């Protein structure tokens, strides 16, 4: 029985080559810039409105440190929690 299963697996592998997926090691910079920047105001489900303190790319994921008035500072993964940009941070200080 084991020999028969092994033979069937070998036949299947010969017919279809394994799919090739590009891999990037963790910590390697991605070509895409982060979606969120420090100072951005966001809405995150279920925490509510918050302000982005920092954003970093880890592998293919962006991790945010966000301050929420009612919950304090939390680490948020936008690929897990719903995160929407409400207002982008200003690029620089305006002079009067």
Structural domain boundaries in the chain: 31-91
What's the pLDDT score for residue 17? 63
Fold of 31-91: Thrombin, subunit H (2.40.10)
What pLDDT does 70 receive? 93
- The per-residue pLDDT string of the chain (96 residues; one tens digit each, 9 = 90 and over) reads 889 988 888 888 787 666 666 555 554 444 678 899 999 999 999 899 999 999 999 888 999 999 999 999 999 999 999 999 999 987 654 444
Which pLDDT value is given to residue 73?
A: 96
The secondary structure of residue 20, as a DSSP letter, is P
**CB < 8 Å & 24+ apart, contacts of 49-52:** 49/86, 50/74, 52/89
pTM: 0.61
DSSP state, residue 77: -
């Amino acid at each position: 029985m084991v020999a028969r299963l092994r033979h069937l697996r070998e036949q299947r592998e010969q017919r279809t080559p394994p799919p090739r997926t590009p891999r990037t090691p963790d910590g390697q910079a991605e070509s895409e810039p982060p979606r969120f920047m420090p100072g951005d105001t966001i809405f995150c489900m279920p925490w509510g409105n918050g302000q982005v303190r920092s954003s970093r790319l880890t592998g293919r994921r962006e991790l945010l440190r966000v301050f929420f008035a009612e919950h304090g500072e939390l680490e948020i993964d936008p690929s897990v929690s719903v995160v929407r940009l409400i207002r982008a941070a200003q690029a620089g200080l305006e002079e009067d």
